[in-house]
């Protein structure tokens, strides 16, 4: 249990998918105008990435690798992610039309979000056939994405653009805020050696 918790912390804070690996930047910058929409997208990414990590790990270990179809993993994973996104999209469209409208094109774009696909593939390389660790890695990564996008939305909601010089209004100030967040999250990297040491010491 300690090992799984450390995997979540490592992926959420230290190797943050947005602020450290710079994946999923498009939706990170595009949806972070409102806290509610950002939290909703974060929830959708948590669902899709966690389930996708589980299904991708199971398919790879039980079907693709035994049959020698490793080369098809990217196509199969995209299909899995697309199906999960459709489920989320139908749920939000029915239960929360306002959130569905606020997310706009960024919701279906989760299908090709490099963060979601990248982590599904990366989990295979890191954890191989370890299903549980792949799931927790996916959850931790998605949690880190949610933390980052909600924090940026909170910052943007407090920024008074009228008090900002005109040349840096809009996208420039958002990029500056994201850069400062990335620098702040670099502070968590000091914990990485200790966590990796513990992970090596804790049983698989």
Residue pLDDT, tens place only, 135-154: 999 999 999 999 999 999 99
Residue 189 lies in a domain: no
- The DSSP string of 22-91 is --SHHHHHHSTTSHHHHHHHHHHHHHHHHHHHHHHHHHIIIIITTTT-GGGHHHHHHHHHHHHHHHHHHH
Residue 204 lies in a domain: no
Residue 197 lies in a domain: no
The domain tally of the chain equals 1
User: Using CA atoms, how far apart are residues 132 and 61, in angstroms rounded to an integer?
Assistant: 13
CA-CA distances (angstroms) from residue 79 to 40, 43, 86, 111, 116? 22, 20, 11, 8, 12
pTM exceeds 0.75 for this model: yes
Lowest mean pLDDT among 35-49, 64-78, 109-123, 179-193: 109-123
Does 115 or 204 have the greater pLDDT score? 115
Among left, alpha and beta (phi > 0; psi -120 to 50; other), residue 104 is: left
Residue 130 lies in a domain: yes
Residue 14 lies in a domain: no
Tell the burial category of 19 from Cβ atoms under 10 Å away from its Cβ (0-12, 13-18, 19+). Answer: buried
Range of the domain at 45: 37-158
Residue 57 lies in a domain: yes
């Amino acid at each position: 249990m300690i090992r799984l918790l450390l995997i979540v912390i490592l992926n959420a804070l230290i190797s943050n998918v947005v602020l450290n690996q710079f994946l999923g930047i498009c939706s990170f910058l595009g949806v972070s105008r409102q806290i509610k929409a950002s939290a909703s997208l974060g929830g959708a990414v948590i669902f899709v990435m966690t389930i996708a990590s589980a299904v991708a790990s199971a398919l790879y270990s039980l079907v693709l690798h035994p049959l020698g179809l490793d080369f098809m993993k990217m196509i199969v994973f995209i299909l899995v992610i697309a199906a999960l996104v459709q489920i989320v999209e139908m749920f939000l469209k029915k239960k929360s039309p306002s959130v569905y409208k606020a997310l706009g094109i960024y919701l279906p774009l989760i299908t090709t979000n490099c963060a979601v696909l990248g982590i599904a593939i990366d989990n295979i390389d890191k954890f191989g056939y370890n299903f549980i660790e792949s799931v927790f890695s996916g959850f931790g990564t998605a949690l880190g994405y949610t933390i980052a996008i909600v924090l940026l939305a909170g910052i943007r909601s407090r920024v008074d653009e009228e008090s900002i010089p005109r040349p840096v209004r809009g996208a420039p100030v958002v990029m500056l805020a994201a850069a400062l967040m990335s620098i702040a999250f670099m502070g968590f990297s000091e914990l990485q050696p200790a966590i990796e040491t513990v992970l090596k010491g804790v049983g698989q």
